[in-house]
A and B are shown apart, each in its own frame.
Chain A
Amino acid sequence: MLTFLRRRIVSSALPLLVVVLGVFALARLTGNPASLYLPLNATEQMRADFTEKNGLDNPIWVQMADYFAGVLRLDFGQSLRTGESAAAMALRAFPATLQLAGTTMLLAVVLAVIVGSWAALKPNGIADRISSFVSMAAASVPDFWLAIMGIWVFAITLGWLPTSGVGGLSSWVLPILTLLLRPFGVLVQIVRGAMVSSLSEPYIKLARSKGASEFRVVTRHALRNAAAPALTVAGDLAVGLINGAVVVESIFGWPGIGKLMIDSILQRDFAVLQAAVLLTAISIFILNILIDLGYAGLDARVRPAGKRSKASKAATAVLTEPKEGKRYVQTAP
């Protein structure tokens, strides 16, 4: 297990580096952000001072070297806009997105499992057709439109929910519902497909003939085998959510990392953008590890072959190798 983790950490370091370097270089390709931060009638001298003060006049490899030297000291730079530490801003914004994304994904998975299994029990029945339609609609709806419609219907017209902002439970409803729909739609299809195929396996017939209840058949037998593909897809969808539910956060004023990223892109706030991307990339990498572990937990065939303990090795040796000096021979009594 530890070997597996160590190997994954090492093999993820390179992509992480490439991501950060890529964002670093691409952001700076957009030019000098001085004119965004200085008043329009700032003089040439002021622009030159700003550029020099922020090291933007150095060649890009010098800027990169400075940045990485800072990273080694855990200094990820300062926001050009607010002057705060970029790392602090990213870390402050991240938990809000994590809460939103985590809750959304959990709900999406639970609901998709319920609806998908129910649809799979009678393929092409009414329940299946309805859930197919609903899930495909859900997977196709653009979240921007959905968010605005949600606000218009539930907040303005009906007055049941707040329009936006953070607060009690009611302010979670619209953001989560908006984010939930597409992953839910995709997952229902996956779960339904996987359940249909596992429900037609022979061991299901066996379980039913043994007298197991339908509920037990579905949950304990079929679902376990359908879980693996669903988990993989769920992981992909979760990555999309963690990547900053940008639209939802912008519309609902949710103080998360998606909004931070889009603001720092528009404002060319390089340090904050790099810190946000790095943080998101690390969390995606951790999520992928968790998915792999979960996958291995569900399906013994994909468990990583790691080092085995000495005792286990000795036991196997005793069981499989002939004792020294003796041969196992069937002797007649």
Chain B
Amino acid sequence: MSFSLSRSASRRASRGVVVGTAVAASAVLLLSSCSVANSEPTAGAGSSDTIRIVLSQEPPTLEACESNLTSTGVVMRSNVTEPLVERNPTTGDLDPLLATSWEQTSDTEWTFTLRDDVTFSDGTPFNAEAAAFTIDRAVNSDLACNVEGYVFGDDDLVVNAVDDTTLTVTTVSPDPILPLRLSFIEIVPTSTDATAKVREPIGTGPYVIAQWDTGTKLTLERNDDYWGAAPAYATAEYQWRSEGTVRAAMITSGEADIAMGLGPDDGVGDLGLDYPNNETVALRMTAEIAPLNDIRVREAVNYAIDKSGIIDSLYQGAHIAAAQLVPEGIVGHNADLQPWEFDIDKAKALVAEAKADGVPVDETITIVARNAQFPKVSEMSQVLQEQLTQAGLTVELKMVDTTQHLQYQLRPFVDNEGAIALLIQHGNQAGDAQFSADQYMTTTGAQSVYGTAEFDAMLEAASTKTGAERQAAYEDIFEYQNDEIVQFAFISHQTGTIGKAANVNYTPNSSSGDELRIAEITPAS
């Protein structure tokens, strides 16, 4: 029997055809050219000309005066822009870069002699005027540059371009480490906007910013007019993945040559390189709130922590037990200082002694730690809670996110939750102990919860010294902290891990996390 479609049925059929076509058309449209909206393809096989780097996050900006921010500096510093002087991460000395020499010409004045053979990548010459402009813009202006807060504080600098190759910098008070501070200022031309931050600046470095596909990829290209030695790679491509396991996977599968910020569990295997990254982990104790206001209790906390046990079980022995806030390589590090030994009996005895004297040792101490601050931070916090409890203290654990953690870490501190042992991670990237000491050890330091007038005087005196005297003064300070102040229970100096593909040669150093110099990466032959 034939079955012909009635009129309404055929209308329904044609509607079905229309719907079907619409669906198919939208599918084709969505997959049009199989490209993702607003992005260029990122996948690419390695070539001997291109170095592919994967970071943990996208730089929020490439503004030169924000280069002390790790996510910005890792791309910019000494790649696109350069400072006058540069700190050598291995020796701790200052090396000349855009400045050839410098000297302290008076108590408050330093004079720098600059190179005369450098041009910015846009062709304009580098000279003292550009240097003065950059310092002014970064430190004295209203831009609120990150580097201003990081190394300079509220005081302004007076800069003067005496002639094309001579620059004087005058400080408010005598500053023996001004050149070290200036190593954080990346020089930009006078054509840079002085009233607003610039997302993609121009510099004097061996690379220029070629293209930034926001959200996807950032490409640098070799600057053929660079004044120094030409680097090996013509192009550098940066991508970012927030998951450490994915960054490691990109190395093992050949999609990237260098991966930053890996952890021990990320699965990078033999392709991972460990390096000391200047980060120190410690508990900072509220030494004015009971029961931590008794020095014996704070000493007990130190004795109760099994540092080598933590390092061996959580970090495969890769970290170093710490006795002070800064690791080796930082000016002021005291190499003779021994970490507090692990002695649970001594810890118990100290707590019992304090209890007998009426100290309320049963009052709760809260360990506050930040989620995902470093690999295995939650495990470490739990171990610390357990070990302090074994010493006879009542300890709770509180894990918080970054913003909440900062409320405990910075003035004005959280002061209505009783005694707090804050798990902090401090990285001294500047290279001088003063940056750590001023912050963490003075009575009024932004991250210090305890100090004494005597200690303040020692810190003040040390900051004015230079050379060997300076080194000795800070060594004394770290020893004094452990003997008389005990605001901290130091745990370890950490190591970082970089993934490195076999086709690439690179030796990481303590600055690699903040400043990945592409010129130091070469193809493996």
Contact = CB atoms under 8 A, between A and B. Distances in A.
Given A103-B27, A155-B249, A156-B253, A92 B199 contact: no
Given A50-B144, A168-B41, A172-B34, A92 B214 contact: yes
A220 B31 CA distance: 28
B68 to A, nearest CB: 7
Contacts of B150: 39, 41-42
A43 B243 contact: no
Interface in A22-75: 30-31, 33, 35-36, 38-46, 49-50, 53
B37 A98 contact: yes
Interface of B: 1, 3, 16, 19, 23, 26-27, 30-31, 34-43, 60-61, 68, 144, 146, 148-150, 153-154, 196-197, 199, 214-216, 239-243, 245-246, 249-250, 252-253, 255, 401-403, 406-407, 409-411, 435, 438-439, 446-447
Contacts of A220: 16
Given A93-B215, A163-B249, A39 B149 contact: yes
A44 B38 CA distance: 40
Nearest to A157: B253
Given A30-B403, A41-B149, A255-B216, A166 B39 contact: yes
29 contacts: A35-B406, A35-B407, A36-B402, A38-B146, A39-B150, A40-B410, A43-B153, A50-B144, A81-B61, A82-B61, A83-B196, A92-B215, A95-B37, A95-B38, A96-B215, A99-B31, A106-B27, A151-B245, A151-B246, A151-B249, A156-B253, A166-B39, A166-B41, A166-B42, A168-B43, A211-B1, A250-B243, A253-B240, A266-B402
Contact of B245 (A31, A148, A172): A148
A295 interface: no
B246 A251 contact: yes
Given A103-B31, A164-B246, A44 B403 contact: no
A227 B42 CA distance: 39
A102 B214 CA distance: 22
Contacts of A252: 246
A210 interface: yes
Contact of B241 (A92, A164, A212): A164
Nearest to A151: B249
Nearest to A30: B403
A171 interface: yes
Nearest to B32: A99
Nearest to A107: B27
For chain A, the bracket of interface size reads 35 or more
A268 interface: yes
B183 to A, nearest CB: 16
A102 B490 CA distance: 52
Contacts of A49: 144
A102 B26 contact: yes
A2 interface: no
Contacts of B215: 92-93, 96, 255
A95 B40 CA distance: 14
Nearest to B411: A44
A41 B39 contact: no
B34 A168 contact: yes
Contacts of B403: 30-31, 33, 35-36, 268
B36 A96 contact: yes
Contacts of A251: 241-243, 246
A164 B256 CA distance: 11
A175 to B, nearest CB: 10
Given A92-B215, A106-B23, 7 more contacts: A38-B149, A41-B150, A41-B446, A99-B31, A163-B250, A169-B34, A171-B42
A152 B153 CA distance: 48
Given A102-B30, A266-B402, A163 B255 contact: yes
A82 B144 contact: no
Nearest to B405: A35
Q: Which 8 A-B pairs have the closest CB atoms?
A: A255-B215, A95-B37, A42-B149, A167-B43, A167-B41, A165-B42, A39-B150, A35-B406
Interface in A123-156: 148, 151-152, 155-156
A297 B16 CA distance: 11
